[in-house]
Amino acid sequence: MKETQNTLTVINKMRDAGIFGNYAIGGAVAATFYIEPTSTYDIDIFIPFENVPGSSLVSLDHIYNYLIPLGYKSQGAHFIIGGWQVQFLPAEDDLYKEALLQAVEIQVGGVKTWVMTAEHLMAIALRTGRAKDLIRLEQFVRYNKFDTKKLNEILERHSFVEKWQQFNDKYIRSSK
Amino acid sequence: MEKILADKLNERNRLVSLPFEEKLTLLEKMRDRSLLIQRPTVVTVSGAAVEFEELHAHSQARHSVPSSPCPRPPPPRRG
């Protein structure tokens, strides 16, 4: 856990330095907060979306310019921080923005950090829909690690009700 | 078989109920193991199995024509 603590400490320093605003951990590491651990190479850090004027791309220059002079290495889309490959992802649509805003504050060995709620992770997994996302989704259901009312509200707000019903029909009801 | 499945289920339930800090330690171990497997391994080929010149020729062909598949060298003749 020491490595993760070190990683989060650096990310918190970046936040304090104004490199980005609030952040939230998403993906497999965030899901592990609620369900069983699954192997992953990286930590997904969602940060507020800031559009570069005149471009549809998100600039990671400020992150690069902060980390590289401090000796951190970049590898493809990742930065190597404290033993983890860290990917900074923009919370670029309404679902991610909401997930970022409503992230839960937790402590990891005394280091403060934020993880997305179980319900937002489920909605994101449902939308992304890769095999590993569906497995994750099934685990949330199996271990009953979510608030049905909250999830339904999110699914309705972001128009995923039909998709959720399809998922339930295919993977949940059929296995009972 | 039922006992095996029940044990697996118990183990999964145990993992779910672990504190996040302990789960993170497991994640770090799983990540390290995966990265270890993913690293390119050194392939050693015995001289008896593949003639050096043939291997060299294939290597040259691979470098000169990147899009063409490199055929496997024929198996050594016996007898």
Cα Rg, chain B, nearest whole Å:
24
pLDDT tens for residues A11-22? Answer: 999 999 989 889
Residues with Cβ < 8 Å from A145, sequence gap 6 or more? A34, A35, A118, A139, B16
Do A33 and B35 make contact, defined as CB atoms within 8 angstroms? no
Nearest to A1 among B13, B25, B33 (CB): B25
What is the rounded CA–CA span in Å between residue B7 and residue A5? 32
Which chain A residue is nearest to residue B20, measuring alpha carbons?
Answer: A33
Do B20 and A106 make contact, defined as CB atoms within 8 angstroms? yes
% of chain A beyond a pLDDT of 70: 93
What is the rounded CA–CA span in Å between residue B2 and residue A140? 24
Do A41 and B24 make contact, defined as CB atoms within 8 angstroms? no
Chain A neighbors of B24, CB-CB under 8 A: 1, 4, 29, 32, 108
Say if CB A111 and CB A8 are below 8 A apart: yes
Residue A56: per-residue pLDDT: 45
Chain B neighbors of A80, CB-CB under 8 A: none
- The mean pLDDT value of chain B amounts to 71
Residues with Cβ < 8 Å from B74, sequence gap 6 or more? none
Which chain B residue is nearest to residue A40, measuring alpha carbons?
Answer: B31
* pLDDT band for position A173 (cuts 50, 70, 90): confident
Residue A36: per-residue pLDDT: 94
**Strand A111-115 with A73-75, pairing:** unpaired
pLDDT tens for residues A21-76? Answer: 899 999 999 999 999 999 999 999 999 887 545 544 556 788 999 999 999 999 99
Q: Where are the alpha helices (DSSP H) in A17-130?
A: 27-32, 61-67, 94-101, 118-128
Q: Is A74 helix (H, G, I), strand (E, B) or coil?
A: strand
What is the rounded CA–CA span in Å between residue A76 and residue A171? 35
Chain A neighbors of B25, CB-CB under 8 A: 1
Chain B CB within 8 Å of residue A29 CB = yes
Residue A175: per-residue pLDDT: 65
Q: What is the pTM of this model?
A: 0.79
What is the rounded CA–CA span in Å between residue A12 and residue A140? 28
- Strands across the sheet containing A24-26: A73-75, A78-81, A84-91, A42-48, A24-26, A111-115, A104-108
Residue A75: is it exposed, middle or buried by C-beta count within 10 angstroms (0-12/13-18/19+)? Answer: exposed
Cα B49 to Cα A37, B32, B52, B73, B77, distances in angstroms: 44, 34, 9, 10, 10
Residue A92: per-residue pLDDT: 86
